[in-house]
Amino acid sequence: MKNTWVLISDAEHARCFERHAADHTLKELVAFVHPHASLQGLASGGDLTGEAGKGHGRTGHAGTQFEPHTEAYAKERANFARELADYLNRGVTDHRCHALVLIATSPMLGELRTHLSHEAEKLVIASMASDLTHCSGRELEKRVTDSLWP
Protein backbone atom coordinates (compact mmCIF):
# COMPACT_ATOMS: atom_id res chain seq x y z
CA MET A 1 0.00 0.00 0.00
CA LYS A 2 1.30 3.44 -0.90
CA ASN A 3 1.52 5.78 2.07
CA THR A 4 0.74 9.48 1.88
CA TRP A 5 2.08 11.64 4.66
CA VAL A 6 0.24 14.87 5.46
CA LEU A 7 2.15 17.52 7.37
CA ILE A 8 0.11 20.24 9.09
CA SER A 9 2.18 23.07 10.52
CA ASP A 10 2.53 26.62 11.71
CA ALA A 11 5.70 28.18 13.12
CA GLU A 12 5.25 26.58 16.56
CA HIS A 13 3.31 23.32 16.14
CA ALA A 14 3.25 20.57 13.58
CA ARG A 15 1.70 17.16 13.19
CA CYS A 16 2.50 14.54 10.61
CA PHE A 17 -0.22 12.09 9.64
CA GLU A 18 -0.41 9.04 7.44
CA ARG A 19 -3.45 9.21 5.17
CA HIS A 20 -5.13 5.92 4.44
CA ALA A 21 -6.32 5.73 0.85
CA ALA A 22 -9.32 3.49 1.47
CA ASP A 23 -11.27 5.70 3.87
CA HIS A 24 -9.19 8.92 3.92
CA THR A 25 -8.62 8.65 7.68
CA LEU A 26 -5.58 10.31 9.16
CA LYS A 27 -3.38 8.43 11.61
CA GLU A 28 -1.08 10.71 13.58
CA LEU A 29 2.55 9.63 13.32
CA VAL A 30 4.28 12.35 15.29
CA ALA A 31 3.63 15.76 16.82
CA PHE A 32 6.22 18.53 17.02
CA VAL A 33 6.26 21.52 19.32
CA HIS A 34 8.92 24.13 18.78
CA PRO A 35 9.64 25.93 22.03
CA HIS A 36 9.94 29.67 21.61
CA ALA A 37 11.26 30.42 25.09
CA SER A 38 14.00 32.50 23.52
CA LEU A 39 11.38 34.61 21.76
CA GLN A 40 9.35 35.73 24.77
CA GLY A 41 10.86 39.21 24.52
CA LEU A 42 9.50 39.65 20.99
CA ALA A 43 5.93 39.75 22.25
CA SER A 44 6.80 42.86 24.23
CA GLY A 45 8.71 44.42 21.35
CA GLY A 46 12.17 43.32 22.48
CA ASP A 47 14.97 42.67 20.01
CA LEU A 48 16.68 39.37 20.75
CA THR A 49 18.91 39.29 17.73
CA GLY A 50 21.81 40.87 19.56
CA GLU A 51 23.60 43.08 17.09
CA ALA A 52 21.59 44.57 14.26
CA GLY A 53 24.41 43.75 11.91
CA LYS A 54 28.17 43.58 11.76
CA GLY A 55 30.13 46.24 9.94
CA HIS A 56 32.35 45.01 7.16
CA GLY A 57 34.31 48.01 5.98
CA ARG A 58 36.78 47.38 3.20
CA THR A 59 39.35 49.46 4.99
CA GLY A 60 40.27 49.83 8.63
CA HIS A 61 37.73 52.65 8.94
CA ALA A 62 34.21 52.41 10.27
CA GLY A 63 32.19 49.79 8.42
CA THR A 64 29.70 50.96 5.86
CA GLN A 65 28.35 47.58 4.79
CA PHE A 66 26.06 45.59 7.05
CA GLU A 67 24.69 42.06 7.04
CA PRO A 68 20.95 41.98 6.54
CA HIS A 69 18.99 42.10 9.78
CA THR A 70 17.23 38.79 10.39
CA GLU A 71 14.64 38.72 13.13
CA ALA A 72 14.92 36.05 15.81
CA TYR A 73 11.43 34.79 14.96
CA ALA A 74 12.41 34.16 11.33
CA LYS A 75 15.51 32.28 12.47
CA GLU A 76 13.45 30.12 14.83
CA ARG A 77 10.90 29.42 12.08
CA ALA A 78 13.74 28.36 9.76
CA ASN A 79 15.16 26.05 12.44
CA PHE A 80 11.75 24.46 12.98
CA ALA A 81 11.19 24.09 9.23
CA ARG A 82 14.57 22.38 8.93
CA GLU A 83 13.61 19.97 11.74
CA LEU A 84 10.32 19.10 10.01
CA ALA A 85 11.97 18.73 6.60
CA ASP A 86 14.60 16.41 8.10
CA TYR A 87 11.79 14.16 9.40
CA LEU A 88 10.07 14.11 6.00
CA ASN A 89 13.37 13.57 4.17
CA ARG A 90 14.16 10.55 6.38
CA GLY A 91 10.69 9.13 5.73
CA VAL A 92 11.23 9.41 1.99
CA THR A 93 14.76 7.97 2.15
CA ASP A 94 13.55 5.04 4.29
CA HIS A 95 10.62 4.45 1.88
CA ARG A 96 8.09 4.92 4.69
CA CYS A 97 6.03 7.28 2.53
CA HIS A 98 5.36 7.51 -1.19
CA ALA A 99 3.64 10.90 -1.38
CA LEU A 100 3.66 14.10 0.65
CA VAL A 101 1.01 16.73 1.30
CA LEU A 102 2.09 19.97 2.95
CA ILE A 103 -0.43 22.23 4.69
CA ALA A 104 1.18 25.11 6.56
CA THR A 105 0.94 28.81 7.19
CA SER A 106 2.28 30.78 4.26
CA PRO A 107 5.70 31.73 5.66
CA MET A 108 6.22 28.26 7.10
CA LEU A 109 5.25 26.54 3.85
CA GLY A 110 7.84 28.50 1.90
CA GLU A 111 10.52 27.87 4.51
CA LEU A 112 9.71 24.17 4.70
CA ARG A 113 9.94 23.63 0.96
CA THR A 114 13.43 25.14 0.85
CA HIS A 115 14.69 22.43 3.21
CA LEU A 116 13.16 19.39 1.48
CA SER A 117 15.52 17.07 -0.32
CA HIS A 118 15.21 16.71 -4.08
CA GLU A 119 13.66 13.26 -3.61
CA ALA A 120 11.11 14.53 -1.09
CA GLU A 121 10.23 17.53 -3.26
CA LYS A 122 9.39 15.16 -6.13
CA LEU A 123 6.88 13.35 -3.87
CA VAL A 124 4.90 16.48 -2.93
CA ILE A 125 1.53 15.89 -4.59
CA ALA A 126 -0.19 18.90 -3.03
CA SER A 127 0.55 21.88 -0.84
CA MET A 128 -1.66 24.57 0.59
CA ALA A 129 -1.07 27.72 2.62
CA SER A 130 -3.52 27.34 5.48
CA ASP A 131 -3.48 26.99 9.26
CA LEU A 132 -5.19 23.73 10.23
CA THR A 133 -3.16 23.20 13.41
CA HIS A 134 -6.24 24.00 15.51
CA CYS A 135 -8.32 21.26 13.84
CA SER A 136 -8.55 17.64 14.93
CA GLY A 137 -10.46 14.42 14.37
CA ARG A 138 -13.16 14.30 11.73
CA GLU A 139 -13.03 18.05 11.19
CA LEU A 140 -9.36 17.79 10.21
CA GLU A 141 -10.00 14.82 7.91
CA LYS A 142 -12.86 16.69 6.22
CA ARG A 143 -10.88 19.94 5.81
CA VAL A 144 -7.88 18.09 4.35
CA THR A 145 -10.09 16.13 1.96
CA ASP A 146 -12.21 19.15 0.96
CA SER A 147 -9.18 21.37 0.45
CA LEU A 148 -7.02 19.01 -1.53
CA TRP A 149 -9.37 16.53 -3.16
CA PRO A 150 -12.74 18.26 -3.79
The least confident of 18-22, 53-57, 62-66, 132-136 is: 53-57
Which CATH class for the 4-33+70-148 domain? alpha beta
Distance CA 82, CA 7 (A): 13
Chain centre distance of CA 4: 17
Q: Which of 20-24, 60-64, 101-105 has the highest mean pLDDT?
A: 101-105
Question: 10-19 in b/e burial notation, b at 16+ Cβ within 10 A?
Answer: bbbebbbbbb
Confidence at residue 123, expressed as pLDDT on a 0 to 100 scale: 96
The tens digit of pLDDT for each residue in 48-94 reads 444 444 444 444 555 555 555 567 878 888 999 999 999 999 999 99
DSSP letter string, 67-135: PPP--HHHHHHHHHHHHHHHHHHHHHHTTS-SEEEEEE-HHHHHHHHHHS-HHHHHHEEEEEE---TT-
Closest CA to 69 of 41, 49, 55, 48: 49
- The amino acid at residue 68 is P
Q: Tally the residues of the chain.
A: 150
> Of all residues in the chain, what percent carry a pLDDT higher than 70?
74
pTM: 0.75
Q: Quick one: pLDDT at residue 49?
A: 43
Strand partners, 17: 6, 28
Return d(Cα 4, Cα 97) in angstroms, integer. 6
Residue 28 has pLDDT above 70, yes or no: yes
